[in-house]
Structure formats: structure tokens, C-alpha cells
A and B are shown apart, each in its own frame.
Chain A
Amino acid sequence: MTHVNRSGIFSFFIVPLSVALILFGIFSIVWLRSSVRTAEYGIAALDHKRMETLRERKTLMAEKASLLSIQSVKSKGSGKLALVFPDRIKVVYVKKDGKNNPFKASLEGRQLSGP
């Protein structure tokens, strides 16, 4: 008949397992905290990048506003491109779906009827 030593099994498996679990727990906590801190650094870097991008966006917005000012558009358009401001005496809006029939004439959209 074989005698099983229960306390021997306990000390052989349970104690090392417990120690390993405790160590694992400690390292998990340390790892977690370290990851959180790394993430904080990462977010701070992204924040910094975001602020730089926003700063650039503001500059670009200001540049765009300057370039799109009517004065700027006119000076560029009227020179090289020979564009002029629309003159209501010269502008004619043609009905899109008018087929080939003659139109009734009006400059006032709401007064119009079809061909």
C-alpha cells in the first residue's frame, strides 16, 4: 500500500504556483501602469501634433481668406485671365430643360413659365 504525502504535494505545487501568481500579479500591475504612462506620453505627443496642425490650419485659413478676397480675385482675374464682374445687362440665364422651343423671356426666375 502506497502512502501519499499531502503536505509534500501542497508544498511542491501550490506554494510555487501562489508565488508565481503573486509575481504575475505584481508584474501585471507594473506593466499596466507603465502602459498607461506610455499611453499618456503618446497622447501628449498626439496633442502636440494636433496643436501644430491646428496652428497650421489657422495660418492656411488666413491665407485662403486673403487669396479669396474679392479684391485679390479681381486683381488676378482681370489681369492675366481677362475676367470681368458679371453685368446684369450682359448676363443671360438659359433654362436647362428648354428643348428646342422658343423661351418666354424674363430675367426674373419666378415669373417664368416653360416654352
Chain B
Amino acid sequence: MRKRAIILNTAIIFGFVAVFLRLVDLMVLNHDRFSERARIQQLKQEDIQARRGLIFDRRGRELGVNLEVESLFCDPPAMVSPQTAAYNISGVLRERPEEMLAKFSSKGRFVWVERKINIETAEKIKKMDIKGLGFVPDAKRFYPKGKLASHVIGAVGIDNQALEGVELKYNKFLRTPGGKILVTRDARGRTLSTGVDIESKGNNVFLTIDEGLQYIAEKELDNAMAQWRASAATIIIMDPFTGEILAFANRPAYDPNSVAYAKDFEKRNRAITDCYEPGSTFKIIVGSAAIEEGIVKLDTKFDCSKGAVSVGSSVIHDAHKHGVLTFKEVIQKSSNVGSTMIGMQLGRERVYKYAKRFGFGEKTGIDLPGEVSGWIRLPEKWSAGSIGAISIGQEVAVTPLQILRAYSAIANGGVLVTPHVVSEIRSPDDVPVYSFNSKGNKRAISKKTAGIFKDILKTVAEEGGTGRSASVEGNHVAGKTGTAQIIDQRTKRYSKEKYVGSFVGFVPADNPMIAMIVVIYEPKGQIYGGVIAAPVFKEIAKQSLSYLNVPREDMLEKNMLVVERR
């Protein structure tokens, strides 16, 4: 009996010693190794979902948002029956089974099957429970307004990388680094709460664009394209005092939701990347320079009766003979001969100086990618005929935005503003991180000269002016028509068939709310800016003034009925 007790005690003691030694092994000697193995089993590294910031218009309407989707991948060696899987999956994804099978037969261990699948489709595939298939949470950029303002907003690629527009220019604000996070999981693979958000959001961008004005501009742009069977067209609407771009549209355009299928010519942001010879809209330079330099008065007369003037070896003609015109009438009737005479009185140095003062030959500084500076030669490189050509808007290359900015200077009293499309950027917690600063504005001409020239531009849209069809009922319009020939790339001479017609102006003329340029490239049937672009200006101005609740100026003189806005 005693012997048995001793054996039992000894066995128990040995047992405890063995357990103790094992514990020492686990907890002291090999602690680090086992703890690392446990960590690997219990912890799982997950991606923090990086989501681009949202894009809003000036009134907080969504223009660029994110959709939660899933991306499907496969591990080909792990698939049991690739043929069956390919047949089943292709039915759901509406793709050819052969293409699916090719992916399922790849050599790698990770092959994308389909990117950015919507949740419903993903659920259908998950229910099939096919071995070797897996899903990764993903985000898809979605532009709810489709084509609207596509050249401003831009687009992103399949991996949400910025490609165009504001998406590209403000990428550093919009994107956010995703990163990794460790989550604890149990033996069944269920994860426990980390207590932190596994989604990282970029900053939200607020544009100066107004969706309503943008819609009006694009609608009328489409109508003009159809009416004149033009090759392209551009409209920009800007606040002339602040440089805020209110609407900005080009045709052809593209849908940023399917940017992969967009053609290069559709993606071209013509308003800032394409130069053209502005024609008569450039007469603002010689006109305002002549007033500023005091070499003309409103009633200074120019003999344009011959309908032509010789400058160097070239002869500049008027479209129609005008007779003797005052300075004011030269601008109102857009006389090439009169403008050339003014240019010759100013001289090449002063014409060049004022062209530069109005920002030509330099980038406007708009916050969109791809802007070009345009082109104007140094005066010493001008030919004998250049003074005449440049005075009427030839031998210079400008962008529509440069022209609009110059006219905005007339509208606001002589200051050259910086056009911009982003007003503010806010963090996801609504804290401002960026706002536009207009410190760089320069004065182009004096307030007095701007005022005088504004009155002249008002006559352009009145009876006898070339832009009569731009006039808006109830408000004065100030502006200028432009018609320019395009260089034929084949002959390297001015084409007799291809023209650019434009109208640029602002309304209401005395208290401008909007400045706008309409440029129509290669219209068919008509060529004059006053015929093809001015009516588009009128339609957009009329609707925009309604949209902005701008009152009529003629309500008192017309004894109109009451009204009060409350």
C-alpha cells in the first residue's frame, strides 16, 4: 500500500515537473517564437479603403462621388472546375465563356477576373460558392451628371488614378493614402472590432461651377453645334469681378463615367489648350490702348471709305465699305480699316505692350491642366504688315479664356482677374484646407478707359452694331463679335471655307453679373460671329439672368407691375 502511494506521488510530481518544464519552454525559453506564431494566426492585415474626396458645384450639388463596388479575382491553381466556373460566371457578367476560361487557366496565383462589379452582381457570384474565386472591396468614381462639365471635372482611371481636369490638378487633395491595419481574428476567421475606421477619405473639392448655368450653356452649345454643323465649339461663363468660372463647356465632349472609350479629340479642353486667331474680338487691344494713351476721342474720325488700307506689302479690307467712321463706330461696326489706322497711330511697341497688359501670350493661370500661353511675337520680329494684321486679330494665337479674361477687365473696371474653377477644399470633417486667393490680379487699363470702352461695346449689341443679335430683352449687353479665318494645314494659307465665329461680352453691361465667350469652329452655311455666335450668347444670357434672378433694367421706363422678392 505504502509502495503504491510512493509510486503515485512520484508520478504526480513528475507530471507536474513536466508541465512546469513545458511551461518554462513555452513562456520563457521560446516565448518570442511562439508569441510570433500566435500573432500570425490571430492577426490579419487588411487594407484601409482609400476613397477619393467628393466634388461639388458652387451650391453643394454632387458632381463626382464614389460608389462601393467589388473586384473579382481568381487563384487559377485553386480552382476545381475552371470550365464550369467560366460558364457560370460569364452568364452573370455577360461576357464570353472563352475569355473567362482564359483567365481561369492563367499561370499566376492572382488574376483579376472583373474590376468594379456592382454589389448585386457580386452577391450572385458569391452565392455560387466557387472555389478559387475571391472579392476585394473597391471604389468606383461616379459622375452623376454624366457629360456635364466633363472638361472641368475630369476623370479617373480603373485604379482611381487621376487622368484629367480637376481630378488631376487637385489630385493631391482628393486622393488619400490607404495604408494597412491589423485586425484580430478568431479560429473561425471572424474578425473582431478594431475600434478604428477602416475607410480613409480624401478632401472634398468645391467648384466655382454652377450646375444650372453649366446645363444652360451645354444645352445651347449642343443646339449651336447641330444648327451650324460645326466641328467644335466652346462656351465659358465667368464672374468678371472674381474670375470664378461659372460654366465651362466644349464640344465634342465625353462622358467621364466611360473615359476609357473617349477619343482624344473629345477629351481636348479647347477653351484652354487650343489657340485660334481671334479676329475682331482682339480689337479691344488697339481700341482701349488708343483711349488710354489719349490718341483718340470718341468722335475722332477715320476715313474708311476706300474699304481697304495698305500696310507694308499687304492690304487690309473691310467686309463692307463704311465711309467715314468715328472711333466709336470703328469698334461698333468692327471696321478692319479703321482698326488698322488706330494700330498704325499707336505703333507696334504700344500695341504689343497693351496685348501683354491684357494677358495675351501668357497663361491665365487657371487651375486646370494643359493650359497653353498663346502666342504673340516680339515687336522687333514683326513684318511691315504685322501692325495691321495684329490690330484686327491676325498673326496672334489666343485661347478663348484669354479673350474672355480681357473682356472681363473691361467689365470690372480694368483689372485682369485670375480665372479659377476651385473655390474651396474642405477636409472630410468640413475643415477648410484650401481656398482660392486672388492676390495676383493686375490692372490692365484705368477704370476711366474701361468705362469708356464699355460704353462703346454696348453699341455693338445695339442697332447698327455687328452684335445686334446678342441683345437681351430688358438688359444692356456689351460685347464684340469676331470672325477669323483658319489656316488651311494643306495649303498653309488662310482657308476660304473654314472660319471661327465668336462673340464675347458681358451682361448687364453697367453692373455685369456674367462675362461670356461663345466660339464656334468651322460653322457651315454662315461664318460671321454676329450671326452664329451672338444668338447663342443671347439665349444663354437670357436664361442665365432668369436663373440668377437678375432684374430687368427697363422695368421703370416700361412702367412694369410690382414686385418684391421676399
Contact = CB atoms under 8 A, between A and B. Distances in A.
A100 interface: no
Q: Which of B473, B560, B564 has the largest number of chain A CB atoms within 10 A?
A: B564
A43 interface: yes
Nearest to B548: A88
Contact residues on B (Cβ < 8 Å of other chain), bracket: 35 or more
A105 B560 CA distance: 7
A91 B473 CA distance: 14
B432 interface: no
B433 interface: no
Interface string A46-87: 110001001100110110011011110010000000000111
A95 B474 contact: no
B259 interface: no
Contact of B192 (A40, A55, A59, A62): A40
Contact residues on A (Cβ < 8 Å of other chain), bracket: 35 or more
Contacts of A9: none
Describe B's contact surface by its main secondary structure: loop
Q: Which of B68, B546, B561, B563 has the largest number of chain A CB atoms within 10 A?
A: B563
A93 B546 CA distance: 13
A55 B51 CA distance: 12
A61 B64 CA distance: 11
Contacts of A37: 192
B555 A88 contact: no
A71 B215 CA distance: 7
A44 interface: yes
A60 to B, nearest CB: 11
Contacts of A65: 61-62, 65, 144-145
B272 to A, nearest CB: 25
Given A44-B192, A58-B66, A69-B211, A105 B563 contact: yes
A27 interface: no
Nearest to B218: A71
A69 B562 contact: no
B119 A55 contact: yes
B226 interface: no
B68 A107 contact: no
Q: Which of A65, A105, A109 has the largest number of chain B CB atoms within 10 A?
A: A65
The 5 closest A-B pairs by CB, nearest first: A65-B144, A103-B562, A43-B193, A105-B562, A109-B565
Interface of A: 37, 40-41, 43-44, 46-47, 51, 54-55, 58-59, 61-62, 65-66, 68-71, 74, 85-89, 91-96, 102-109, 112
Given A61-B65, A89-B474, A95-B564, 18 more contacts: A54-B68, A58-B66, A61-B62, A62-B142, A65-B61, A69-B215, A71-B145, A71-B148, A85-B547, A88-B550, A88-B552, A94-B563, A95-B563, A103-B562, A103-B563, A103-B564, A105-B555, A106-B556
